[in-house]
C-alpha cells in the first residue's frame, strides 16, 4: 500500500508541472512502432491459423479460432416446424437490434425481436463517452471520415465509412425526435466534446449516460410499437434454404432449455461483440452475454468475417478496487482534461491519441516498470481525474460524470479528490461479419448490424463511432431486411450448412474444442479453483 500512497502523492504534487505540459501526438511511424511492440493484437503467440470456412488461412486469436471451428449445439435431426413465421427476425436487444426492429416495423414488416438477456441489457447501455456526429461549423462529414480512417489504420471500408459519417446527423435527428436528450449549450445547440483520435469536437453526450439514455428511449419505443420480444431466447443456430440463403433461426428458451424454430424472410444479427471470451486473458468491460455469437452463427452459413483478428482494448479499465477490475472509466475523462500518469508522476502519452496507441503506451509503461501494483497483484497507471476540476472549475466532475462518481463512491473512492488506477480492458470487437452498405452479409437474407459486423472501423474503432454505427447501420439493415421480406417468399428451413461445415472440419482433421455459440461465460466456481481455506470449511 505504501508504494501506492507514495506514487499517488507524486501524482498530486506534480499536477502544476503537468498542467503546463503538452504531450505531442506521435508521428504515424512512431505510433505504428508502439502499437506493434505493445498492443495485444500483435502478440504472435496468441494467434492461430483458421483452417476451415470462408476465412481459412487467416490468423486470429485462439479464443475466436476455437469459436469458429466449434460444434453446433443443435441436433441435426431437430424438428424444424416453425413456431413463429415472420418477415424479419431481429436477433439482439441492444441499440442496433432495437433500431433495426423499429425501422423494419415502420416499413410495414412483421418483426420479431429475440434476445439472450433482457431487452436493453447490452453494451449500448454502458456507452458513456458519446456519439460522434460532425455538426460544428468548422467540422464536416469528410473530416469525420478521415479521422476515422486514420484511427482505423486506413483499413476501414470507405463505402461503409462514408455512409456512417454522412448519415450521422440524420441519425442524431431521429434520436432527438424519439426524445433522446443530448446535452445542449445556452443557445440550444448541441454541445460537442472532443474524443480521442478526432481533430474536431463532435461527441454528442447525455452527461456520462449517453448509451443508457439512448437505450432507455429505444426500448420504450420498441414497446410502444408493439414489436413482440422474446427474452432469454438467444439464437443457437441459423437456418438456410437449399440454396444457402438464410431462412430462419433456432432459438433456445433459457428457462426450460427447449428449442424454438423461427421462419423469417430476413434475419438481422445484432448480437454485439465478444468481450466475455476474455481474449488473451483480459478482463472486459462487456455485458454478460457478449460471447461473439454472430461470428460463429454467420460463419457456419458461409459468411466471411472482416478484421476478425483485431480487438479494442479500452485504455482505461479500472484495476482498483479489485471488484471493478475491467470496468470502464469513460474516455470522457480524458476528453475533459484528465491526465494519464505513470508511477513516477509523469505523463507518457497524449491522452487523446487513438485508443490502440494510448492502450499500447499504458502497457509499455507497466511492462517497463513504471506501473503501480495493486494489492491483488494487478498493475496499472494513474488516471488523474481531479485535474478536470482544476482545469474547468469545481463541480465539473460531479456534473459531467455522475455515473463514474457513483460507481467509485460505492467503494469509498472519491474520484473528485483522488486519481484512480487503470489498465487496458477488452472493450470492443473491431471486426466482425463483413457487410455491405445495406448491412447484408455474404449470405443472402442474413443482415448484420452494430458491433457484430465488420469492416467499418478498420483495425481500431474511433471512440464515439460505435453508438453512431448501431443507429446508422441498424437503420440500414432494418430497411434492407424489410425490403427483402416484401420481395421474397419464405425459404425452406434446413440445417444443411451446419452439416456441410462439420464435414469440412472433419476433413481438415479438426476436433472442435467447444460447442458454440457459448451463450454465457462459465463463471460458476468449480471444486478445482476453490481456495484451500474455503474447501476446508
Nine-digit cell at 202?
463532435
> Per CB under 8 A, which of residues 158..197 are in contact with another protein?
158-159, 162, 166, 169-170, 172-173, 176-182, 184, 187-190
Find where cell 460505435 sits.
Answer: 466
What 3-state class would DSSP assign to 83? coil
In whole angstroms, how close is the CB of 405 to another protein at the nearest point?
Answer: 10
In whole angstroms, how close is the CB of 37 to another protein at the nearest point?
Answer: 15
> Per CB under 8 A, which of residues 18..47 are in contact with another protein?
40
In whole angstroms, how close is the CB of 296 to another protein at the nearest point?
Answer: 20
Of 105, 287, 300, 314, the one binding another protein (CB under 8 A) is 287
In whole angstroms, how close is the CB of 223 to another protein at the nearest point?
Answer: 6
Of 57, 281, 393, 509, the one binding another protein (CB under 8 A) is 281
In 3-state terms, the chain is what percent helix, strand and coil (to 5)? 40, 20, 45
Nearer to another protein by Cβ, of 377 and 489: the residue is 377
> Pairing state of beta strands 432-434 and 453-454?
parallel
Write the DSSP assignment of 176-235 as a string of letters: HHHT----B-TTSPBP-B--TT-SS--EE-BTB-HHHHHHHHHHHHHHHTT--EE-S--E
Residues 76, 106 contacting (CB under 8 angstroms): no
What 3-state class would DSSP assign to 448? strand
Nearer to another protein by Cβ, of 410 and 417: the residue is 410
Phi, psi angles (nearest 5°) of residue 434: -65, 135
Nearer to another protein by Cβ, of 224 and 508: the residue is 224
Nearer to another protein by Cβ, of 243 and 322: the residue is 322
Pick the catalytic residue: 314, 339, 343, 370? 314
Helix residue ranges per DSSP H, 210-349: 210-224, 293-300, 332-335
Question: Interacting stretch for another protein, rule CB under 8 A, among 139-147, 347-355, 438-446, 452-460?
Answer: 139-147
Question: Interacting stretch for another protein, rule CB under 8 A, among 57-65, 152-160, 439-447, 509-517?
Answer: 152-160
Nine-digit cell at 298?
454467420
Nearer to another protein by Cβ, of 4 and 80: the residue is 4
Contact between 398 and another protein per CB under 8 A: no
d(CA 510, CA 496): 19
Find where cell 449517453 sits.
Answer: 210
In whole angstroms, how close is the CB of 248 to another protein at the nearest point?
Answer: 24
Nearer to another protein by Cβ, of 120 and 419: the residue is 120
Of 154, 228, 368, 414, the one binding another protein (CB under 8 A) is 154
Nearer to another protein by Cβ, of 273 and 445: the residue is 273
In whole angstroms, how close is the CB of 457 to another protein at the nearest point?
Answer: 15
Contact between 15 and another protein per CB under 8 A: no
Which of 214, 228, 216 lies closest to 172 in space, CA to CA?
214
Question: Interacting stretch for another protein, rule CB under 8 A, among 82-90, 291-299, 373-381, 441-449?
Answer: 373-381
> Per CB under 8 A, which of residues 203..262 are in contact with another protein?
206-207, 209, 211-213, 216-217, 219-220, 223-224, 226, 232, 254-255
Tally DSSP H helices, then E strands, for the chain.
Answer: 17, 19
d(CA 147, CA 26): 15
Element (H, E) at 93: none
Residues 424, 462 contacting (CB under 8 angstroms): no
- CA 249 → CA 162, 262, 311, 493, distances in Å? 32, 5, 28, 9
> Per CB under 8 A, which of residues 407..436 are in contact with another protein?
407, 410-411
Query: Would residue 339 show up in a list of annotated catalytic residues for this protein?
Result: no
Contact between 325 and another protein per CB under 8 A: yes
Query: Would residue 314 show up in a list of annotated catalytic residues for this protein?
Result: yes
Contact between 288 and another protein per CB under 8 A: yes
Pick the catalytic residue: 39, 144, 334, 343? 334
Element (H, E) at 490: none
Contact between 121 and another protein per CB under 8 A: yes
For 242-321, strand residue ranges (E) read 246-253, 258-269, 305-306, 311-318
Task: Output DSSP code: residue 492.
Answer: P
Contact between 523 and another protein per CB under 8 A: yes
In whole angstroms, how close is the CB of 410 to another protein at the nearest point?
Answer: 6
Question: How many residues of this chain bind another protein (CB under 8 A)?
Answer: 95
Contact between 338 and another protein per CB under 8 A: no
Neighbouring CB atoms inside 10 A of 169's CB total 14
In whole angstroms, how close is the CB of 452 to another protein at the nearest point?
Answer: 17
Nine-digit cell at 212?
443508457
Catalytic amino acids?
A: 314, 334
Amino acid at each position: 500500500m505504501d508504494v501506492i500512497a507514495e506514487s499517488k502523492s507524486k501524482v498530486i504534487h506534480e499536477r502544476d508541472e503537468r498542467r503546463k505540459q503538452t504531450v505531442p501526438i506521435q508521428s504515424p511511424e512512431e505510433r505504428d512502432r508502439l502499437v506493434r511492440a505493445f498492443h495485444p493484437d500483435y502478440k504472435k503467440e496468441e494467434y492461430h491459423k483458421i483452417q476451415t470456412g470462408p476465412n481459412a488461412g487467416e490468423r486470429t486469436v485462439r479464443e475466436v479460432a476455437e469459436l469458429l471451428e466449434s460444434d453446433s449445439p443443435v441436433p441435426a435431426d431437430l424438428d424444424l416446424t416453425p413456431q413463429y413465421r415472420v418477415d424479419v427476425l431481429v436477433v439482439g436487444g441492444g441499440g442496433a437490434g432495437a433500431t433495426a426492429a423499429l425501422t423494419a416495423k415502420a416499413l410495414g414488416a412483421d418483426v420479431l425481436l429475440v434476445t439472450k438477456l433482457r431487452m436493453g441489457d447490452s453494451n449500448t447501455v454502458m456507452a458513456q463517452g458519446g456519439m460522434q456526429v460532425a455538426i460544428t461549423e468548422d467540422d464536416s462529414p469528410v473530416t469525420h471520415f478521415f479521422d476515422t480512417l486514420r484511427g482505423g489504420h486506413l483499413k476501414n471500408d470507405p463505402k461503409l465509412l462514408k455512409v456512417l459519417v454522412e448519415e450521422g446527423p440524420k441519425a442524431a435527428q431521429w434520436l432527438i425526435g424519439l426524445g433522446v436528450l443530448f446535452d445542449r449549450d445556452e443557445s440550444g445547440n448541441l454541445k460537442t466534446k472532443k474524443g480521442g483520435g478526432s481533430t474536431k469536437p463532435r461527441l454528442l453526450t447525455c452527461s456520462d449516460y449517453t448509451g443508457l439514455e439512448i437505450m432507455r428511449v429505444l426500448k420504450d419505443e420498441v414497446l410502444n410499437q408493439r414489436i413482440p420480444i422474446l427474452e432469454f431466447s438467444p439464437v443457437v443456430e441459423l437456418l438456410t434454404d437449399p440454396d444457402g440463403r438464410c431462412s430462419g433461426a433456432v432459438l433456445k428458451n433459457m428457462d426450460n432449455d427447449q428449442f424454438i424454430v423461427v421462419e423469417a424472410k430476413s434475419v438481422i444479427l445484432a448480437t454485439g461483440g465478444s468481450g466475455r471470451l476474455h481474449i488473451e486473458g483480459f478482463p472486459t468491460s462487456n455485458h454478460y452475454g457478449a460471447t461473439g455469437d454472430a461470428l460463429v452463427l454467420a460463419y457456419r452459413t458461409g459468411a466471411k468475417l472482416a478484421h476478425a483478428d483485431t480487438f479494442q482494448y479500452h485504455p482505461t479499465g479500472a484495476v482498483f478496487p479489485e471488484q471493478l477490475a475491467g470496468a470502464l472509466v469513460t474516455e470522457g475523462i480524458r476528453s475533459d482534461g484528465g491526465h494519464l500518469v505513470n508511477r513516477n508522476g509523469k505523463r507518457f502519452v497524449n491522452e487523446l491519441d487513438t485508443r490502440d496507441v494510448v492502450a499500447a503506451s499504458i502497457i509499455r509503461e507497466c511492462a517497463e516498470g513504471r506501473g503501480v501494483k495493486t494489492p491483488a497483484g494487478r498493475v496499472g497507471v494513474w488516471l488523474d481525474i481531479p485535474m478536470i476540476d482544476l482545469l474547468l472549475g469545481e463541480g465539473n466532475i460531479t456534473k459531467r460524470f455522475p455515473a463514474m462518481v457513483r460507481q467509485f463512491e460505492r467503494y469509498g473512492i472519491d474520484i473528485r479528490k483522488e486519481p484512480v488506477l487503470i489498465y487496458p480492458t477488452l472493450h470492443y470487437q473491431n471486426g466482425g461479419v463483413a457487410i455491405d452498405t445495406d448491412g447484408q452479409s455474404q449470405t443472402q437474407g442474413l443482415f448484420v448490424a452494430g458491433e457484430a459486423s465488420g469492416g467499418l472501423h478498420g483495425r481500431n474503432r474511433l471512440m464515439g463511432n460505435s453508438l453512431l454505427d448501431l443507429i446508422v447501420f441498424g437503420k440500414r439493415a432494418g430497411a434492407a431486411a424489410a425490403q427483402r421480406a416484401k420481395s421474397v417468399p419464405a425459404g425452406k428451413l434446413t440445417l444443411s450448412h451446419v452439416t456441410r461445415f462439420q464435414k469440412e472440419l472433419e476433413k481438415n482433421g479438426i476436433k472442435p474444442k467447444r460447442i458454440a455459440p457459448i451463450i454465457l461465460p462459465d463463471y460458476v466456481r468449480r471444486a478445482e479453483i476453490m481456495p484451500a481455506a474455503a474447501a476446508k470449511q
